[in-house]
Amino acid sequence: MADHKKYRIGIDLGGTNIKIGIVNSSHKIIAHHSIKTLVQRSYQKIIQDMAEAVFFLLKQTGISLCECQALGIGSPGCIDFKNGIVVFAGNLHWEQVPLLEELKKYIDLPMALSNDANCAALGEVIDGAAKEYKNAVMITLGTGVGGGIVIDKKIFEGGHAGGTELGHTTIISGGEYCTCGRHGCFEAYSSATALIRDTKRAAQKHPDSLLNVLCDGNLDNINGITPFDAAKQGDFAAKEVIENYIKYLGEGIINMVNIFRPDVVLLSGGVCNQGSYLTDPLNNYIQKYCFAGKRAYIPTVIRATLGNDAGIIGAASMIE
């Protein structure tokens, strides 16, 4: 990086908010700003607002565009990274949006676009839980299961838009319905949504389970923490839910290890707040079942540490 190009701009584009950060040469976010996405507007208007928000943040921090090296955006959905196009993003209501071309009308910087899960993975490798490593698979356990892959400190994109959809690989073909139209995807077993679904089922099946007490008899009160709380108090039904959840998560992780064999596997999302209660049994499972066993390198599963900042730092770091 040229000395006077000290900063990078990272943008985390979401269905609700557009988060913008200015990242310094030590990979720290030194200033940030957030605006509402307001997805009902045209993409042109949203991108114009995005540009204005960037200039607002630069002005507020006294940094000029000339001091910036690059700008990167992490977007949900299928991304054509080569052409800077959002091919399809359900929660933005976007199809074939030429995001970078549109943004370049306002901002004259080298730009890159990738999927938000990819950016988060890169952020963790650049300055987060995996900063000692070059290769990582990151799995985000939220409403769905997102996947990001970093090889040699760069995002691995695959060939075309629609790749690295790790959550949409079946682990039990013909099993639970997945929003992608298939049955049995990793996401349909390992997302927080799936955990809540299985906890509700267990509560119904076992009326005497502590799960029913913890949710005050209302299944709608069950969240991703409920089964862990009940299991820690010894509840049999909850323990079974957690055991199965960890087994399926382990299966999906091993699949990714057998394909990518990364230095480390990162987990993010609210479920990871369970810490070693989640990662210890996962690591035991992986040690046991990875292809070639101890003859090959077996990565450790660890928690991501940057939270929401990962996406901004990763986005800002896409261009060398």
Task: Name the residue nearer to a second copy (CB basis): 71 or 161.
Answer: 161
> For residues 232, 236, 241 and 246, what is the CA-based torsion angle, rounded to 10 degrees?
60
Neighbour tally for 303: CB within 10 Å: 18
- Please state the closest distance from residue 258 (CB atom) to a second copy, in A: 4
Decide: helix, strand or coil at residue 19. Answer: strand
Neighbour tally for 96: CB within 10 Å: 10
Identify the residue whose tokens are 């986005």. 315
Task: Name the residue nearer to a second copy (CB basis): 67 or 240.
Answer: 240
Residues near a second copy, by CB under 8 A: 78, 87-88, 95, 134-135, 151, 158-166, 168-174, 180-182, 184, 247-248, 251, 254-255, 257-263, 288-293, 295-297, 299
Token pair in block for residue 283: 């690591």
Task: Name the residue nearer to a second copy (CB basis): 62 or 159.
Answer: 159
- Please state the closest distance from residue 283 (CB atom) to a second copy, in A: 16
- Please state the closest distance from residue 170 (CB atom) to a second copy, in A: 5
- Please state the closest distance from residue 165 (CB atom) to a second copy, in A: 4
Q: Is-contact 68 8, C-beta < 8 A? A: yes
Residues 6+ apart with CB under 8 A from 259: none
Task: Name the residue nearer to a second copy (CB basis): 67 or 95.
Answer: 95
The alpha-helical segments, DSSP class H, found in 11-160 are 43-61, 99-103, 116-127
User: What's the length of the chain?
Assistant: 320
Task: Name the residue nearer to a second copy (CB basis): 62 or 181.
Answer: 181
Identify the DSSP state of 48. H
- Please state the closest distance from residue 314 (CB atom) to a second copy, in A: 18
Identify the residue whose tokens are 């199809």. 95
Task: Name the residue nearer to a second copy (CB basis): 63 or 257.
Answer: 257
d(CA 245, CA 254): 14
- Please state the closest distance from residue 92 (CB atom) to a second copy, in A: 13
Strands (E), 200-313: 264-268, 300-303
- Please state the closest distance from residue 276 (CB atom) to a second copy, in A: 24
d(CA 64, CA 37): 25
Task: Name the residue nearer to a second copy (CB basis): 116 or 165.
Answer: 165
